[in-house]
Structure 1
Amino acid sequence: MDVMSPQLMWIGTRCYRVNQVSEQQRYQEYEQQDENKPYVEEDLFEEDDRELEYDIQIGEGGKFQTSFHVPSIFFAMIIGAKGATRRRMELETKTQIIVPKQGSEGDILVKGTFRRAVTSCRQRIELIVLGARSRQQFTHFLSIPLNSDQIKQNYKKFRVKVLTELPSAFNLDDSLFQKVDKLHLTLCTMSLMDNDDRSRAAQLLQDCREMIIGPILANFGSVEIRLRGLEYMNDDPRAVDVLYASVESEALQQIADQVMEYFVENGLLQKKYDRVKLHVTLINSLFRDNAEGDGGDDRRGSRVTFDATEILREFGHYDFGLQKVTEIHLSQRYSTACDGFYEATGLVKL
């Protein structure tokens, strides 16, 4: 690990440094600890902001307890090799962690004599789950369908011009272009591992309509975006993976940033950037020879970069047009609805 640039992980409004220690090393450290004098990490905060957010009750024997949903795919990460991770957390926080048997469904239960200890243990479990979730391939994404006639027609013209007017410059194949019916603006991606995850994400999106989108609309009246100009994801225009259109909209930028923060605070996203990069994928090297070919889906095929020099020179300031934003979708990856766009697990109207 680069000590000058450590890996960071956000839980709610707090940022944690991730220590790169193997599970075997953790287990050895745990075995060497004196069980009568367990190591307890120093608490740098006098009060815990998230404690009030948790539903912590008093159960049998007067102990504090909290139960919360975790997709069963992450149970093994919470338990750890030979149960080492769970035992370490129990020892350090002086709590008891009850995990449903592998293959079964149910909530994680944390019990302890002190409310603060239960809160601390739950936070540690959430860190583990968030880290494990971030390593999964994304299953859903918040999107804005780009279905205005102006944008769709201008995109079709752009594709034809690129393929017919510059054929000798970079040897692009039509399969690398995004499908017209699936043109979209991506706000963020997430890994939703079960029905509870999907229901929760859909509800969070509904919450955003009242808490975030409504107040911003009150200031701007409506949200209109303009697609103009081309950008690429890497440093060399001769070896490009993804070519995308730039998005201009101050209102949408505010909505996207605050919605992302809300999903981060609720544990479904890991914060990586301060602002959402508003962009619309037009050409993606992963689409090559992919029958699905939709929006970055990399179910099969591998990246083969392409030379975008001529495209950027000829169409770098291409204006795809305007569109008023009327919906935000929670879209399901690898899906197609009856209108040609992605299946929506949830959506909100603007």
Structure 2
Amino acid sequence: MDVLSPELMWIGTRCYRVNQVSEQSELQQDENTPYVEEDLYEEDDRETDYDIQMVDGGKFQTSFHVPSVFFAMIIGSKGTTRRRLEAETKTQIIVPKQGTEGDITVKGSSRKAVTACRQRVELIVLGARSRQQFTHFLSVPLTANEIKTKYVKFREKVLTELPVGLSIDESLFQKPDKLHLTLFTISLMDNEDRSQAALLLQQCRETIIDPILASYGSIEIRLRGLEYMNDDPHAVDVLYAKVESEPLQQIADQLMLRFIASGFVQEKYDRVKLHVTLINSLFRDGIAVDGSEEQQQPRNSRVTFDATTILREFGHYDFGSQRVTDIHLSQRYSTACDGYYEATGFIKL
């Protein structure tokens, strides 16, 4: 394990370091030493993160929202997952009936047992959520005339001045009205999810954004240079513009950590990769993630493009700068009346 970058796991609003046990240490243990199972309910204060109430009979319970699409994962095949969790944590898990909405309730004889069970359920939901296609993303709309104008000129130059054999179809380019800087993606499965995520974004204004704005005054970004998202420049899926802005990087990193702690996002990277998508192979023929059509392409429909000449000719292209005025919780596959994505929530800076 790299002691400077240990493996981390988020459970609820707490972050824990994963300790690795070396094989040598295991071999040094006495083979006759009896196995002692780890105490899952050792004294700590994790239950204070949850609203746990005492009910009749001296029992404890907590109720919390889980999108109904994840109920089957919690129950498991023929109820095996639920029974296992109940046996291991000595609790009872109450899941709404199939086809209905509602909160999941966990009951147990102690706060620690209820806390442990809820944490296990939340880990199941987090894993299931991470396997869903994203429905929303945090974005910064790029509305500056300078950026839009230079982007349109970039698109025209690629389409008209580069060799025909590149096969860069105009449909692969992002629409100028939908140009945006992506912070990170998120899967929101129902109205309650969307409401909670929008509220969380509003709360982050005071706790995260205001202190950074106090230090910098305003947030300026510059788009300069090109990068691609896979290893081979001859077979590229996404070509994007690089973003220069230290204060926005700080905001993005802290926003991601807050959404991770709330169970909406699974931690995958140390830092947010700020980027502005310019060309995407999924945009081909206008049926893709840009929201121009409701129909979605199959996952295997990507046809990569050769970006070597574009990178050589425009690798240091300057798309201009803009002051960041708002951050949106944008809905994928949508178009608002102004041509941008529909906003499930937003904050003004």
d(CA) in 2 for partners of 1:55 and 1:46? 18
1:264 corresponds to:
260
2:142 corresponds to:
146
1:47 corresponds to:
44
CA contact (8 A) 1:290 1:300 kept: no
2:327 corresponds to:
328
Report the 3-state secondary structure (helix = DSSP H, G, I; strand = E; otherwise coil) of the residue aligned with 1:254: helix
Does residue 10 (structure 1) correspond to residue 6 (structure 2)? The answer is: no
Report the 3-state secondary structure (helix = DSSP H, G, I; strand = E; otherwise coil) of the residue aligned with 1:305: coil
2:214 corresponds to:
218
Shift of 1:292: 5.3
**Residues 295 and 254 (structure 1), Cα distance of their counterparts in 2 relative to 1, 3 Å cut:** farther
d(CA) in 2 for partners of 1:147 and 1:261? 27
Report the 3-state secondary structure (helix = DSSP H, G, I; strand = E; otherwise coil) of the residue aligned with 1:280: strand
Shift of 1:51: 1.7
Shift of 1:167: 3.1
Once the two structures are superposed, the pairs formed by residues 186-335 of structure 1 within 5 Å of their partners are 186-291=182-287, 294=290, 299-300=296-297, 302-335=301-334
CA contact (8 A) 1:247 1:278 kept: yes
**Residues 215 and 45 (structure 1), Cα distance of their counterparts in 2 relative to 1, 3 Å cut:** farther
Report the 3-state secondary structure (helix = DSSP H, G, I; strand = E; otherwise coil) of the residue aligned with 1:226: strand
Shift of 1:175: 0.3
CA contact (8 A) 1:100 1:107 kept: yes
Deviations 1:218-253 (A, max 9, x none): 001000000000000111111111000000000000
Deviations 1:157-191 (A, max 9, x none): 00000010003351110000000000001111111
Once the two structures are superposed, the pairs formed by residues 81-120 of structure 1 within 5 Å of their partners are 81-120=77-116
Deviations 1:256-299 (A, max 9, x none): 00000001101111111010000000000111113456179981
Once the two structures are superposed, the pairs formed by residues 13-28 of structure 1 within 5 Å of their partners are 13-14=14-15
CA contact (8 A) 2:292 2:335 kept: no
Match for 1:69: what amino acid? H
Deviations 1:130-151 (A, max 9, x none): 1001111111111100010000
Match for 1:116: what amino acid? K
Give 5+ residue unaligned stretches, structure 1.
1-6, 18-38
d(CA) in 1 for partners of 2:169 and 2:221? 29
Once the two structures are superposed, the pairs formed by residues 171-186 of structure 1 within 5 Å of their partners are 171-186=167-182
d(CA) in 1 for partners of 2:339 and 2:107? 49
d(CA) in 2 for partners of 1:45 and 1:275? 33
Report the 3-state secondary structure (helix = DSSP H, G, I; strand = E; otherwise coil) of the residue aligned with 1:317: coil
d(CA) in 1 for partners of 2:217 and 2:209? 11
d(CA) in 2 for partners of 1:280 and 1:46? 47
d(CA) in 1 for partners of 2:182 and 2:292? 11
**Residues 66 and 44 (structure 1), Cα distance of their counterparts in 2 relative to 1, 3 Å cut:** closer
For 1:74, which of 59, 70, 73 is the aligned residue? 70
For 1:56, which of 52, 67, 88 is the aligned residue? 52
**Residues 293 and 120 (structure 1), Cα distance of their counterparts in 2 relative to 1, 3 Å cut:** closer
CA contact (8 A) 1:337 1:343 kept: yes
Deviations 1:5-56 (A, max 9, x none): xx98533443588xxxxxxxxxxxxxxxxxxxxx9654396424x3211000
1:25 corresponds to:
none
Q: Which moved more, 1:165-174 or 1:79-88?
A: 165-174
Deviations 1:298-320 (A, max 9, x none): 81161111100000000000000
Report the 3-state secondary structure (helix = DSSP H, G, I; strand = E; otherwise coil) of the residue aligned with 1:142: strand
CA contact (8 A) 1:71 1:197 kept: yes
Percentage identity across aligned positions?
73
What TM-score do the two structures reach when normalised by structure 1? 0.88
Q: Which moved more, 1:265-274 or 1:282-291?
A: 282-291
d(CA) in 1 for partners of 2:62 and 2:289? 44
Q: Which moved more, 1:290-299 or 1:205-214?
A: 290-299
1:4 corresponds to:
none
CA contact (8 A) 2:329 2:343 kept: yes
d(CA) in 2 for partners of 1:113 and 1:250? 49
**Residues 44 and 239 (structure 1), Cα distance of their counterparts in 2 relative to 1, 3 Å cut:** farther
**Residues 260 and 45 (structure 1), Cα distance of their counterparts in 2 relative to 1, 3 Å cut:** farther
Give 5+ residue unaligned stretches, structure 2.
1-6, 19-35
Shift of 1:70: 0.5
d(CA) in 2 for partners of 1:66 and 1:73? 20
Give every structure 1 segment of 4 or more consecutive aligned residues whose post-TM-superposition deviation is greater than 6 Å.
Answer: 295-298
CA contact (8 A) 1:239 1:305 kept: yes
CA contact (8 A) 1:40 1:92 kept: no
d(CA) in 2 for partners of 1:201 and 1:109? 21
d(CA) in 2 for partners of 1:45 and 1:243? 50
CA contact (8 A) 1:286 1:296 kept: no
